[in-house]
Structure 1
Amino acid sequence: MRYFMFVTSDESAWANSTPQYKEEIFGKYMAFTMEMQNAGVLLAVESLQPSSKGSRVQVRNGERTVVDGPWGEPSAVGGYYLIRVDSKDEALAWAAKCPGASYGTMEVREVSEFGK
C-alpha cells in the first residue's frame, strides 16, 4: 500500500527560527530520509516552498480565480513523503519517526488507485 505523509507546521515559527535550529532539523530530516531509503519504503520526498510563494486556483461558473499566498492560516504543508508499506500501522510508525512530528503535525493518507 502507498501512503502520503504530509508535514504541516507553523510557517512563521520556522521563518523565525535560528540558522542553527534549521541546520539541526535539516540534519534530522536527512537521517530520517536515509533510514526510509535504506528500509526500502521511500518512493518520493519533496520539500515545498512557503505558502507565500504559492497560489490557489478555483473555477466557478467557468471563471478562474487565482489567489496568491499566504492565506493567513497558521499551518501549511511544508513537504511530503510517499512511501510503500504493508499497513496503515506501519505508515503511522514512520510518520511518528519524522522530525516534523516533533514540532508540527504529520497527516497520513492512503493513496487510492486512480478512478476507484
Structure 2
Amino acid sequence: MRYMIIVRATPDSESGIMPEESMLASMATYHEALAKAGVLLDANGLQPSSKGWRVQYDHGQRKVIDGPFADTKELIAGYTMIQVRSREEAMQWALRFPEPFTNQPCEVEVRQLFELEDFGPSQAVERFRDIPGVAR
C-alpha cells in the first residue's frame, strides 16, 4: 500500500521563507528512519505557488493560470511517499512526522494512492502497466 504524506503550505512557505536548520535536521532524521525501514519511496519540498501554474480545463479548452494562488491552506509545500503493509503502519509513520513549521499552525494530510488493481481489468489499465515508471 502506498501513501502520500502531504505537507500543507503556510504563509511563510508560500512567501519563500526557507526552513530553519533544526527543521531540516529533524526531517533528515525522519526520512533516514523511513529509508532504513525500507518504506521510503520519495520525498521533496515544493517551491512556492508563485513559481508555478495551473492548467484549467473547461469544455475541452485549456487555460494556463500563473501563480501565486490565494488560498494557502489548500496548497502543498512538500510530500513524502511511503509503501507500507497497512493503513495502521502508515498512520504510525505519519504520527512520527516532524512538525513542518514551528511557531505556527500547520498540518500534514495522508492519502492512499490508487493501485492499478483497484480499477479492475481493462485495456487502458494494461497500457498503464506497460509504461516504465508509472504503474505498480
TM-score by length of 2: 0.73
Cα–Cα, structure 1 residues 64 and 106, in superposed 2: closer, same or farther, change >3 Å?
same
Matched length: 113
Aligned-pair CA distance for 1:55: 0.6
> Could you say which residue in structure 2 is the equivalent of 1:9?
9
- Runs of 4+ with >6 A deviation: none
SS of structure 1 residue aligned to 2:30: helix
**Could you say which structure has the larger radius of gyration?**
2
| 1-structure distance, mates of 2:53, 2:108 | 22
- Higher RCO, 1 vs 2 (CA within 8 Å, ≥6 residues apart): 1
Listed as ranges, the gaps of 5+ residues in structure 2 are: 120-136
Task: Flag the structure with higher strand content.
Answer: 1
| 1-structure distance, mates of 2:16, 2:51 | 17
**TM-align CA RMSD:** 2.1
> Could you say which residue in structure 2 is the equivalent of 1:28?
26
Q: Percent identity?
A: 35
CA contact (8 A) 1:95 1:101 kept: no
Alignment of 1:35-46 (within 5 A): 35-46=33-44
Aligned-pair CA distance for 1:16: 7.8
